[in-house]
Amino acid sequence: MLQNKAIKDYRKLFCLLKDGTVFTVIDTETTGLSSIENRIVEVAAIKFSKDGILDKFSTLVNPEQKIPFQCIQIHHITDQMVQSAPKIKQILPELLKFIEGSVLIGHNINFDLRFLNAELERNGFSQLKNSFIDTLSLSRWSLPEMQKYNQSILAEYFNIKIKNAHRAEDDAYVCGQIFLNCIKVSAERQKIRID
């Protein structure tokens, strides 16, 4: 069960951004869909505020299990690529320090939070307590006229260039841009001055 607190009053996001809140977009690539049986093979986080990108964290992770072919077809991360990568237990302290005190953002973020919390629990750490925002829900609220809300369609709608889809750092960057664009669109619809 997620201990994190979802921010769902999207009308307040513009004020949070304007007031200098630090956000961290987070994305994981995995060996499958089950946080119990599968493992993380890549994690990336991009920290930003109203002043722009503040810092980045990105690493491949040795999952200590074979990466299924169907997953390789999606994220193009192979067993050879992660063979000498750090194990999750080695990177968790640095990742926790990186995201400390920030509001987490992700597209369908519950997927990433389930995996991260499962890895934290398996390795003797406390689960995440950060507040979070799901850009999938945010985009549905901001753009009710759209039919589909997957990240690539939203990127195309907002003219955000995707360089390396289904790799954690690029997905995190694109998600952050979707977040900022959704705030701008909703602020305009609410007649909020954004200068």
Residues with catalytic function: 166
Look at phi and psi of residue 102 and say left if phi exceeds 0, alpha if psi is from -120 to 50, else beta. Answer: beta
> Token digits for 98?
């990186």
The amino acid that residue 118 corresponds to is: A
Query: What Å distances lie between residue 32 and 39, 116, 166, 170, 195, CA to CA?
Result: 7, 14, 13, 19, 43
**CA 165/CA 188 separation, integer angstroms:** 29
> Token digits for 45?
């986080």
- The DSSP H or E segment spanning 53 is strand 52-60
What pairing do the DSSP bridges indicate for beta strands 40-49 and 23-30? Answer: antiparallel
